[in-house]
Amino acid sequence: MKQKETTLNTLLNGDKISLSELSAEEIGNEHISTGIETPLLRDAFALSDEDKIKKIEAHFRIIMETMGLDLKDDSLKGTPERVAKMYIKEIFSGLNPANKPKIALFENSYQYNQMLVEKDITFYSNCEHHFVPIIGKAHVAYISNGKVIGLSKLNRIVQYFAKRPQVQERLTMQIARELQEVLQTKDVAVLLDAKHLCVSSRGVQDNNSVTVSSFYGGKFSEENTKQEFLKYVGMKTEY
């Protein structure tokens, strides 16, 4: 399979990418992330979820009718409401900070001071450029700084940030930053391996390529530790 890797340490350290000369289509095709934070309006949460569902339902009804679909058909008439509920309650639920997982830390009573790896975390996200799925696996690791986290919480952090319109670079950075803040350590590694349906189902229509993005913080930036992590997650060393 063809693979493309983006290493994100320099972006997290504050370096900037100039986007002034790129068109919207170029940005979409190249999957450039414009910042670590998901772009949100100031009044993003002024409406309740129920009000958002009603509004999206009305707009999606117009979209379907504009495409020529007959919403009086039994199979289609409930689609606008179903899509609206899916957007707010499911696939984009990570936009709402109220849905952020509650994280509790525990003392590292076992005195385990080696890396802990949680690999093959399946996630489903959506490309913010075309609103089609990104399907992949996340591999995360950390070295305890005196505190440990429940294993399921690692999965929940990945899912929370995945459930919003995303680019893979931003998703990688958001997961890494959250883990560093929650675990109170820089020693965090994140690697995402994903297929983008905006590549396979439209545009170039390449169904074989996948995208790999990574972040190595603290001790994971050291070559030996990085290679140990990559060995555990089953990635070739050149990644």
The predicted pLDDT at position 12 comes to 42
Same domain for 223 and 118: yes
pLDDT of residue 211 exceeding 90, the answer is yes
| 129 assigned to active site | yes
Q: Any idea what the CATH number is for the domain that residue 87 is in?
A: 1.10.286.10
Yes or no: say if 133 and 168 are a contact pair by the CB < 8 Å rule: no
| 169 assigned to active site | no
pLDDT of residue 98 exceeding 70, the answer is yes
| 168 assigned to active site | yes
- Could you give the C-alpha distances from 105 to 12, 111, 113, 158, 238, in angstroms and in order? 24, 14, 16, 17, 34
Query: What average pLDDT does this structure show over 176-193?
Result: 97
| 238 assigned to active site | no
- For 119, the domain range is 3-40+98-233
Same domain for 105 and 63: no
Q: For residues 206 and 100, which has the higher predicted lDDT (pLDDT)?
A: 100
Q: Give the pTM.
A: 0.84
The predicted pLDDT at position 22 comes to 36
| 3 assigned to active site | no
Which of 125, 72, 68 minimizes the C-alpha distance to 94? 125
Query: What average pLDDT does this structure show over 90-104?
Result: 96
The predicted pLDDT at position 150 comes to 92
Mean pLDDT rounded to a whole number for the chain = 87
| 196 assigned to active site | yes
The predicted pLDDT at position 34 comes to 60
Q: What number of helices (H) and strands (E) belong to the chain?
A: 8, 8
pLDDT in tens, 3-44: 444 444 434 443 333 333 333 444 444 444 467 999 999 999
Question: Catalytic residue among 127, 139, 166, 180, which?
Answer: 127
Same domain for 147 and 36: yes
Residue 9 domain-assigned (yes or no): yes
Same domain for 89 and 103: no
Question: Catalytic residue among 166, 169, 174, 198, which?
Answer: 198
The alpha-carbon radius of gyration of the chain (Å, integer) is: 20
Same domain for 179 and 165: yes
Quick one: what percent of the chain has pLDDT higher than 70? 84
Three-state SS at 37: coil
Q: Any idea what the CATH number is for the domain that residue 163 is in?
A: 3.30.1130.10
Same domain for 103 and 90: no
Quick one: what percent of the chain has pLDDT higher than 90? 75
Query: What average pLDDT does this structure show over 180-191?
Result: 97
Residue 238 domain-assigned (yes or no): no
Question: Catalytic residue among 3, 81, 130, 228, which?
Answer: 130
The predicted pLDDT at position 236 comes to 62
The predicted pLDDT at position 201 comes to 86
Question: Catalytic residue among 31, 57, 118, 129, which?
Answer: 129
Same domain for 27 and 115: yes
Residue 239 domain-assigned (yes or no): no
Structural domains in the chain (count)? 2
